[in-house]
Amino acid sequence: MPKHRITRRQFVATVATGVVLATEQTTRAQSGFLHWMGRWNERVDCFLFGPERLGAELPPAETTPAEAFPSYFISDDMPVAPAGWVLKVGGRVARPATFSLEQLQQMTRTDMRVRHHCVEGWSAVAAWYGVRLRDVAEVVGADPRAPYVEFRSFDAGYWSSWDRESALHKQTLLAYGMNDVPLSPDHGAPLRVYSAVKLGYKMVKYLTEVNFLSERTGGYWEDQGYEWFGGV
Amino acid sequence: MEITDRDERWKGRRAQPWLIRLTHWLNVPLLLFMAGSGLQIFAAYPALGPRGALYRWYPWQETELPTWVQFGGWLAGGRHWHFALGWFLVLNGMVYLSYMVARGEWRRRLFLPHRDVHNALLMLAYYLRLRRTAPWNDFYNGLQRLAYSAIIMIGVVEVFSGLAIYKPVQLWWLGYLFGGYDGARVVHLMGLGLLALFTAVHLVMVTLHPRAILTMCTGGKHA
């Protein structure tokens, strides 16, 4: 048999190795088939996202009972806002600034009742209110060439980075209220990201910082293997 | 009545041309891993209906799934596998359907009511032991054609209900078709149930008629 032809045994070994490698990648798709397909799917995800497309506004009757709307944090105990809490907005912005909750509340308030889509598969509905991130971006003069936006929190190391288009979507809020009352600690008080166009894990609670960046900076779940784009 | 066996088009063609065989067998691993990764995803919220308003008619709300049916290790792994292999399953299905159309294979494989209803009823009567002999058939009997046509439709519904869950806002019109996001989850899971039922019956039938397995491997005789 000519040397360049692979034997049946080599073929079987190669296929078996491929299957084993493919299975081992399941926890973190850093290379190989799943990584490649993940990148392809991210491009599809970006392509499907319409910056002007809105999540459906729902009637009050669809609201999920407060006790049935799940919430979680990654700290050992419920994160509590530090005294003198302010939101820092920076990165590639013309006028870096800090905002107190009162300052944000003085800006134009936006209300929306939309469906929440969790990566686990459940959905729930609440009415959210707060200020549009696009309005805050305008105040600080965010560089239109900065393609990523990073959200950081005081929930021990929870963060997420987004594409700019989703962050500046009409239905992406820095929310300070839920179901007609100020945001409760379990849902991210005093301020959280809420959006109709992302999966739940992208919406950072207990917000401390918003940064407009040149590079994407992953995220708490994203770095463990969940999709970075996470659009719905 | 159309008698496809006498049709000139089948002259020299095998019962199972190679592209039909290839796409058929590719379905085995693809569907297996799609089901496993899909159930891995479902296991993260093994319930139907939105939070606080679970559907009352579904008897297995929040019932944990056995780990042996799940594939992908954890939720993120299951998602990566499901969204990766889904492309290949769709591609495989499109190759199969294109071939069926291009070569006229649909004529002898799919259920055409005017031709197959009578035969399907006779075949059903035979299976129910109401009739002693199976009706004459040319390539497939009416019930086979009904089953193979139905499973193609279910496959198409699986793809679209899956997309409706994947992008409920961007593809909102698909969600609308299935009764919203949670409706699409119901349809997607029910589709899996029907696929599993089809596979079970299919396995019983080919065990009873092992020649069919051989034909699906070798292609069978030239007509």
pLDDT in tens, B105-126: 999 999 999 999 999 999 999 9
Which tops the pLDDT comparison, A71 or A18? A71
- Report, as an integer, the average pLDDT of A12-38: 65
> What pLDDT score does A106 carry?
98
> What pLDDT score does B9 carry?
81
CB of A98 within 8 Å of a chain B CB? The answer is no
Report the C-alpha gap between A112 and A106 in whole angstroms.
Answer: 18
| A194, pLDDT greater than 80 | yes
- Report, as an integer, the average pLDDT of A85-103: 98
Write the pLDDT tens digit of every residue in A49-81: 999 999 999 999 999 999 999 999 999 999 999
| B6, pLDDT greater than 70 | no
Report the C-alpha gap between B21 and B192 in whole angstroms.
Answer: 23
Model confidence at B136, in pLDDT bands (50, 70, 90)?
Answer: confident
> What pLDDT score does A155 carry?
97
**Mean pLDDT rounded to a whole number for chain A:** 91
| A15, pLDDT greater than 80 | no
Which tops the pLDDT comparison, B70 or A21? B70
Write the pLDDT tens digit of every residue in B22-58: 999 999 999 999 999 999 999 999 999 999 999 999 9
**Contact call for B79 and A119, based on CB within 8 A:** yes
Percent of chain A residues topping a pLDDT of 90: 86
**Secondary structure string (H, E, C) spanning chain A:** CCCCCCCHHHHHHHHHHHHHHHHHCCCCCCCHHHHHHHHHHHHHHHHHCCCCCCCCCCCHHHCCCHHHCCCCCCCCCCCCCCCCCCEEEEECECCCEEECHHHHHHCCCEEEEEEEECCCCCEEEEEEEEEEHHHHHHHHCECCCCCEEEEEECCCCCEEEEEHHHHCCCCEEEEEEECCEECCHHHCCCCEEEECCECHHHCCCCEEEEEEECCCCCECCHHHCCCCCCEC
Residue B50 is nearest to which of A124, A196, A224, comparing CB atoms? A124
**Mean pLDDT rounded to a whole number for chain B:** 94
Instruction: Report the complex ipTM.
Output: 0.89
Distance from CA of B21 to the nearest CA of A (A): 21
Chain A, nearest residue to B29 by Cα: A19
Which of B104-120 are b and which e, b meaning 16 or more Cβ less than 10 Å from the residue's Cβ?
ebbbbbbbeeebbeebb
> What pLDDT score does B115 carry?
94
pTM of the model: 0.90
**Contact call for B52 and A26, based on CB within 8 A:** no
Q: Which residue has the tokens 């929040």?
A: B62
Write the pLDDT tens digit of every residue in A121-134: 999 999 999 999 99
Q: Which residue has the tokens 């659009």?
A: A231
